[in-house]
Amino acid sequence: MAPCFSKSPGATSMSCEECWVTMAENDASAVKAMVLAKSLRRVVTTRKIAVVVCEGVSDIYRKLLQATFDQCLKLDMPYERNGVPLRFYVKVFCWSMPFMRKCIFLDYQTMVVKNCDELFDFPGTLALCDNENYLETSVMIFEPSFEDYVDLCTWLRPGKLHKSKLKPVHHHTGP
């Protein structure tokens, strides 16, 4: 099933652009996401900044997010995520944004202290691994693809998501 998302009122089209993306799952994380956005602006990023807004964010904070971010995407959650944690589900959802050419997902607990727009120059999909060599997606570079989104959703079906099965992903395209 295709994800449901909607742009904030008054948002402009972001077709074929590169974009920083984060999420807000509740009011507390919305505050952290706004700090992240302000840190990106402070280092003078040349890219757009977007936030995926989940149901747990109040109307007051949704308005603050709209004033802070270039793009706010409302994620209409399915009733069943098959036990997938919300933060992981949002990252999978980001793969379904066909109007974006390249994205860098930053966890809302991240703060940028130096311009790092050069990360958009890395080809393909890149994510870090933690100390135990498991996939760590606090910072993830990817090129949204609905085909990849469908593949990820298939992988997330019941019984398929176990930490022991998460292995490092080093998918590069190009030479």
pTM score of the predicted model: 0.76
Ordered by where they begin, the domains of the chain are 15-165 (3.90.550.10)
State the pLDDT confidence band at 3, using cuts at 50, 70 and 90. very low
Across the chain, what does the average pLDDT equal? 78
pLDDT at residue 35 in the model: 97
- pLDDT tens track for 85-137: 788 888 888 888 877 889 999 999 989 999 999 999 988 887 766 666 555 67
Q: What is the mean pLDDT of residues 44-50?
A: 96
CA distance 67 to 52: 14
Position 152 scores a pLDDT of 78
pLDDT at 163 over 50: no
The residue behind tokens 């900044």 is 49
